[in-house]
Amino acid sequence: MKILNFVAITLFANILASTASAQVPEGKPPYDKGCSFCHNAGIAGAPRLGDPDAWRDRVAGGMARLYKSALEGTPKGMPSRGGVDGRSLTDNEIKYAVDYMVDKVKDALAAAPASADPAANAAAAAVQPTAPVLFSFNRLLRPLDKRNLAPPDDGIHDPENEGTHMLQSPAVGLADFVKSNFGNRVDWVATLESGKISPRWERTNPDAEGIVMDMNILRVPRGFMPNVVFPHKQHTEWLECSNCHPAIFIPQKGANQISMPLILLGQKCGVCHGKVSFPISECRKCHSQKKDAPQKAVGTP
Ligand code: HEC
Ligand code: HEC
Ligand code: HEC
Ligand code: HEC
């Protein structure tokens, strides 16, 4: 037990020392920009800034693993690069942000590397899932190397079927599209806006035009989360009114009960988001307006 403790402390000391040279002050701006949104409050199970218990076992896994998780995301809900807000950060800035987060718990961990207790280790091991758990709210979230596989390898198409081998691989087909860090790695709204694609409104009629309606709907959620701006424009560029009205939403502002639990269960916005459009982990894409922002700033044109 004594020896174990010693080993654990030395291990921690080594890992923590390896961050000593790290870019701690440089880490705060990228952290504030791309990470604070979830890590300040512990949203969706994110380890909270400055909470040693949330970080102990993660830090014990070494800095290289943490950098990798931050850059590539994890199956348990850490979005690659932190998602929307972190998209513009460089690899180094993301690593500095990790250094900054670890620095916040460094002293507390050095003082109490609790996992040195073999019983606690066994308990911790018991709750570690052996296979990556896919969050149900993030049905499109896959490890980086499992995304956009060629049809014979994607687990959807029948590899025995000849036709499967004639299909283009998404990795090739989507290569020129505007990139995103989530879902199938394409920002479909930006790709459409860039003119790289012009999908047909009707399959059999190349000249048919849809009705695009530019009307934002503001929803003010209970609690601390930023307001949700639902844009009709970006939806009606892809979808007919009847895709949503009236089956999913009564077309009247505020007439529908919409909540996060329902969305996570695949209802309301969750009928599409997380299945065929960007995943629920991209909180900021929907919760895009500051709570205290003057309501008239939201455009109902
Ligand atoms: C949308 C919410 C969200 C944002 C934004 C976010 N994270 Fe996370 N992060 C999470 C969640 C959830 C977890 C826990 C996932 C897990 O246990 O695998 C996590 C875990 C981590 C971990 C620990 C990973 C591990 O393997 O133990 C690191 C490091 C991390 N985040 C760094 C960052 C950095 C750096 C940023 C900003 C560039 C960031 N996060 C932005 C949600 C977020
Ligand atoms: C992706 C789903 C979706 C599509 C497609 C869609 N809407 Fe809506 N619509 C909504 C939501 C969500 C609301 C807000 C409901 C609420 O606040 O309870 C809404 C509200 C409305 C309202 C009420 C506005 C108000 O101020 O009360 C009208 C009118 C409306 N939609 C018309 C349309 C028309 C016309 C189309 C097609 C051109 C369309 N919608 C396409 C989801 C959609
Ligand atoms: C019928 C399917 C459907 C429903 C229901 C739906 N969406 Fe969408 N949403 C889409 C599609 C498709 C896109 C465009 C492709 C993409 O961004 O993934 C989109 C795009 C968006 C965008 C624009 C993102 C950008 O990059 O500009 C926002 C914001 C959004 N949805 C929020 C919501 C909210 C909030 C709800 C519920 C009130 C909702 N959506 C319900 C299908 C849907
Ligand atoms: C597809 C759009 C969308 C995404 C993505 C999204 N939300 Fe929401 N969220 C909503 C809508 C719509 C509401 C309901 C607002 C209202 O009350 O009118 C909501 C409400 C909430 C509420 C208030 C409580 C409740 O259930 O009504 C919380 C908290 C919340 N969201 C957290 C999150 C977090 C955390 C994330 C990211 C992990 C997230 N949301 C991602 C659309 C979204």
Q: Which of 70-74, 212-216, 270-274, 292-296 has the lowest mean pLDDT?
A: 292-296
Split at pLDDT 50, 70, 90, the class of 301 is very low
203-246 residue pLDDT tens: 899 999 989 999 999 999 988 899 999 999 999 999 999 999 99
Split at pLDDT 50, 70, 90, the class of 299 is very low
Q: Considering only CA atoms, which residue is closest to atom 33 of ligand 4?
A: 283
pLDDT for residue 123 is more than 70 = no
Architecture of domain 176-301: Alpha-Beta Complex (3.90)
Q: Which of 212, 215, 219 is nearest to 299 (CA)?
A: 215
Instruction: Report how far residue 12's alpha carbon sits from residue 109's, in angstroms, rounded to the nearest whole number.
Output: 8
Does any ligand 2 atom lie closer than 6 A to the CB of residue 228? Answer: no
The angle that helices 2-20 and 63-72 make with each other, rounded to 10 degrees, is 60
pLDDT for residue 294 is more than 80 = no
Does any ligand 2 atom lie closer than 6 A to the CB of residue 245? Answer: yes
Does any ligand 2 atom lie closer than 6 A to the CB of residue 167? Answer: no
pLDDT for residue 158 is more than 50 = yes
- In angstroms, what is the span from residue 245 Cα to ligand 2's centroid? 7
Instruction: Report how far residue 189's alpha carbon sits from residue 180's, in angstroms, rounded to the nearest whole number.
Output: 10
Q: Which of 15-19, 185-189, 244-248 has the lowest mean pLDDT?
A: 15-19
The fraction of the chain above a pLDDT of 90, given in percent, is: 38
Does any ligand 1 atom lie closer than 6 A to the CB of residue 139? Answer: no
- In angstroms, what is the span from residue 263 Cα to ligand 4's centroid? 8
Mean pLDDT of 238-257: 94
Ligand 4 atom, smallest distance to 280 CA: 5
The fraction of the chain above a pLDDT of 70, given in percent, is: 79
Question: Which residue has better confidence, 1 or 203?
Answer: 203
Domain 2-127 and domain 176-301 have a common topology: no
Indicate the CATH number for domain 2-127: 1.10.760.10
Mean pLDDT of 242-265: 92
- In angstroms, what is the span from residue 252 Cα to ligand 2's centroid? 7
**The pLDDT of residue 293:** 65
Does any ligand 2 atom lie closer than 6 A to the CB of residue 216? Answer: no
Q: Which residues touch 71 (CB under 8 Å, ≥6 apart)?
A: 80, 81, 91, 94, 95
- In angstroms, what is the span from residue 273 Cα to ligand 3's centroid? 7
DSSP 8-state symbol, 133: P
The binding-site residues of ligand 4, defined as CB within 6 angstroms of any ligand atom, are 43-44, 219, 221-223, 225, 228, 258-261, 263, 269, 273, 280-283, 285-287
Q: Kindly provide the residue ranges of all beta strands, DSSP E only, lying in the chain, ordered along the sequence.
A: 216-219, 228-231
Q: Are 188 and 277 in contact (CB under 8 A)?
A: yes
- In angstroms, what is the span from residue 90 Cα to ligand 3's centroid? 27
**The pLDDT of residue 295:** 55
Cis peptide before 301 (omega within 30 of 0): no
Question: Which residue has better confidence, 25 or 119?
Answer: 25
pLDDT for residue 279 is more than 50 = yes
Domain regions of the chain by residue span? 2-127, 176-301
Mean pLDDT of 162-187: 88
Q: Considering only CA atoms, which residue is closest to atom 34 of ligand 2?
A: 241
26-67 residue pLDDT tens: 899 999 999 998 898 888 789 999 999 899 889 888 888 899
pLDDT for residue 275 is more than 90 = no
Does any ligand 3 atom lie closer than 6 A to the CB of residue 78? Answer: no
Split at pLDDT 50, 70, 90, the class of 138 is very low
